[in-house]
Amino acid sequence: MEKNENTRDEEILSAMIDGELSEADTEKIKLTLENSDHLRSFEKDLMLSRSAFGEMKRNTSDAVDFDLFWKDLSESCVEITRAKNNNELTPDELRKLLGKSGLSWFDRLFAVFAPAAAGVAAAMASVFFLMPARVLKERVIIEKPMARAGETVKTDLKVVSGDKKDPNEVRPVHLSPNPVIENIIESGESCVIESMQSAEDIITAVFKVEDSDGSMITVIWLPIDEPSEDTI
Amino acid sequence: MKDYNSFTDGELIEHASNGDQLAFQYLVKRHNGWAYGFVLKTVRNPEAAWDITQEGFVRVFKNLSEFRQESSFSTWFHRILYNLCIDHWRRTGRRIEVEYQDVLSSGDTGPSGGRGHIFKTPEKALRHTEIVHLLEEALGELSFEHRTIVVLREIDGLSYEEIAEVTGCPRGTVMSRLHHARKNIVQHLKRHGYVSSEI
């Protein structure tokens, strides 16, 4: 449908006030404006609208508390960065992730069983003695149940099926967005804590959970000092 | 030491995409204010606006390497936010209008908290509050498409070309919607007794 002439002139006038017209079009609409009471009235309306928006722009009530905003945002960014970097986690990031992914019961278990498991933690001692003091990062490693105590696999998160005959056969998994460790642990009806230890706020633990095929797998959660070369 | 404040948006993005998180933080600091304001005026729900703005920056962070310098960051980010607002609008529909009116009445400006403007006289402060409130009402009566375009123009100061790029509408449609939106806003203001000399 054709727009009526008034509407068209109003649109052009509106564009002129916004500075969106060419010089030639501006001159044309100015001429029309001089001879049109309707258009002059509309120009006042436009000014009314503009002034009102000017008042709104002065209103600072939309201001965002940047610290609060960044705190929320940086948490999301950490997760994205981790996913991009193939699960390289700092201890804080790992704890945050586990807390968010429904594994907070782990912390609770830790609080309950840690004293009783202190003796079993000796099995992990050799691991710690091999670690330099500047342990900064944590990895999650899942090994075969028959893995010797203290034996670690310096790779990113990997899963070895308990039934597989070849102990070297590994299946790479990603911790995000659906951590396999979370799925395995949550699908298991029970969890056997073998050892737990906390040193400088870094949790190290060995526990067993039942895999979906009924086999028991051992989860070793421990700090590793440097990134592995065989990144997944 | 890097002077991030002197960096252009493009430079901040370039540094951020190379893993410089501080550069990204400066980018967020530079743009979070208007971004939240734009989303709030578009979706009219402070909580949703907060979440959408956060999600917008998350998308920026995820796609830093995809930003092309030929477009301004502001336009690119507006487009991301606009699409998120559309998604939100489709999910929630008009019921959020009522919630936002409640928020306006209660004076609660949402999770960020509020800071008022300083006016020389109480009369001016009151008139300012009334006008802003009326304008919020008028924006609420507009369709999503008209409201977005008028906010992009009047609050964020985008050109017609930039609005067309953000919304995916032809320039003529932008011009037409803007005209329609302004006309309705003015009618709302006039219905409540405001004329241009009063503002």
Question: What is the rounded average pLDDT of the residues A54-65?
Answer: 70
Nearest to B53 by CA among A84, A65, A58: A65
- Poorest-pLDDT segment among A111-115, B2-6, B94-98, B133-137: A111-115
Is the predicted pLDDT of residue B160 greater than 90, yes or no? yes
pLDDT level of residue B90 (50, 70, 90 thresholds): confident
What's the N-to-C CA distance of chain A in angstroms?
Answer: 61
pLDDT at residue A142, rounded to an integer: 41
The rounded distance, in Å, linking the Cα atoms of B30 and B34 is 9
Residues from chain A that touch B41, judged by Cβ atoms under 8 A, are 62
Which ipTM score applies to this complex? 0.72
Question: Does a cis peptide bond (omega within 30 degrees of 0) precede residue A177?
Answer: yes
* Nearest CB neighbour to A55, from listed B28, B62, B199: B199
Interface test with A, best of B182, B184, B195, B197 (most A CBs within 10 A): B182
Query: In the block, which residue shows the tokens 């009116």?
Result: B101
pLDDT level of residue A75 (50, 70, 90 thresholds): confident
Q: Do A52 and B185 touch (CB under 8 A)?
A: yes
pLDDT at residue B131, rounded to an integer: 82
pLDDT at residue B20, rounded to an integer: 86
Is the predicted pLDDT of residue A88 greater than 60, yes or no? no
Q: Do A60 and B111 touch (CB under 8 A)?
A: no
Three-state SS for chain A is CCCCHHHHHHHHHHHHHCCCCCHHHHHHHHHHHHCCHHHHHHHHHHHHHHHHHHHHHHCCCCCCCHHHHHHHHHHHHHHHHHHHCCCCECHHHHHHHHHHCCCHHHHHHHHHHHHHHCCHHHHHHHHHHHCCCCCCEEEEEEECCCCCCCCCCCCCCEECCCCCCCCCCCEECCCCCCCHHHHHHHHCCCEEEEEEEEECCEEEEEEEEECCCCCEEEEEEEEECCCCCCCC
Q: Do B189 and A48 touch (CB under 8 A)?
A: yes
* Nearest CB neighbour to B57, from listed A47, A49, A73: A73
pLDDT at residue A196, rounded to an integer: 56
Question: What is the rounded average pLDDT of the residues A22-40?
Answer: 91
* Nearest CB neighbour to B132, from listed A15, A56, A69: A56
Contact predicate A195/A120, CB 8 Å: yes
pLDDT at residue B124, rounded to an integer: 62
pLDDT, chain A, mean: 58
pLDDT level of residue A78 (50, 70, 90 thresholds): confident
Predicted confidence (pLDDT) per residue in B47-73, tens digit = 899 999 999 999 999 888 888 777 789
Q: Do A20 and B189 touch (CB under 8 A)?
A: no
User: Across the beta sheet with A216-224, what order do the strands follow?
Assistant: A137-143, A216-224, A202-210, A191-199
pLDDT, chain B, mean: 81
**B49 to chain A: nearest residue by CA?**
A62
Name the token pair of A26: 């501006």
Is the predicted pLDDT of residue B122 greater than 70, yes or no? no
Q: Which amino acid is at A194?
A: E
Predicted confidence (pLDDT) per residue in A151-205, tens digit = 333 333 334 334 444 444 433 333 333 344 445 555 554 555 555 555 554 445 5
How many angstroms separate the CA of residue A65 from the nearest CA in chain B? 5
Size of interface A-B (CB pairs under 8 A): 132
Q: Do B61 and A51 touch (CB under 8 A)?
A: no
The rounded distance, in Å, linking the Cα atoms of A223 and A13 is 68
Query: In the block, which residue shows the tokens 């400088």?
Result: A200
Q: What is the 8-class DSSP label of residue B196?
A: G
Q: Do A51 and B196 touch (CB under 8 A)?
A: yes
Q: Do B109 and A10 touch (CB under 8 A)?
A: no
* Nearest CB neighbour to B194, from listed A48, A62, A81: A48
Q: Do A62 and B33 touch (CB under 8 A)?
A: yes
**B28 to chain A: nearest residue by CA?**
A70
